[in-house]
Amino acid sequence: MADSKTNTEDSATKGSAVEGSSMEGSVAGSAVERSAVNAASTPLVFDYPTFNPLFKMRGDYQFFYAIAAQSSTSRWFDMAVKIDPKAGTVVKSWSSPGIFMTEFDFAPAGNSTALADEDDGVLISVLYNSTSDSSLLGFFDAKEMKPIALYPIEGGVVPFHAHGIVCRLGEECFTNP
């Protein structure tokens, strides 16, 4: 693979493995706020929902995260969404041309179960860049739905996977779903 820099629009990824990597193509994504889940005439198609595991099975949870088809012509899940199920709205979303996602895992930033801290954590996913036929390990800020870091996975393409496990050092693991 020729040496080239993977670009991002978000300064949060500067200094991560993306900058100066040997990935070809671009991962210039955008995080946007959206309104109703069925804002367009076509309903939002999403799957693989995940929660902050500290809020799972609680009736007062405010958000879940999923991967979605951006349009009826999408070839796979090409958008990440943060949904407020009580309001029936997509609060934030992220997508980038040619990037497809696998199920997200949520890693809480701490152990708080206060509602104000529900989206304080990191979403982790393996991304496929169809432009360069390569995979990335992506870390996203769950509050803002923006990439924190994107790391190229050397040695080929990682196939679609689902239902991961997040383990914090010295603590119990969280399964997904």
Map out the domains of the chain as residue ranges.
31-175
Could you tell me what percent of the chain has a pLDDT over 70? 68
Average pLDDT for the chain:
77
Tens-place pLDDT, residues 34-88: 444 444 445 778 888 899 999 988 999 999 999 998 888 887 899 999 999 999 8
Tell whether the model's pLDDT for residue 1 goes beyond 50. Answer: no
CA distance 120 to 42: 31
Backbone CA torsion sign across 22, 27, 28, 29: negative
Report helix, strand or coil for 117: helix
Q: Which residues pair with 81 in a beta bridge?
A: 66, 93
Q: What is the pTM of this model?
A: 0.73
Check residue 79 and give its pLDDT: 93
**Stretch 133-140: mean pLDDT:** 93
Tell me the two tokens of residue 89: 């709205």
Q: From 83, 80, 54, select the one nearest 67 (Cα to Cα).
A: 80
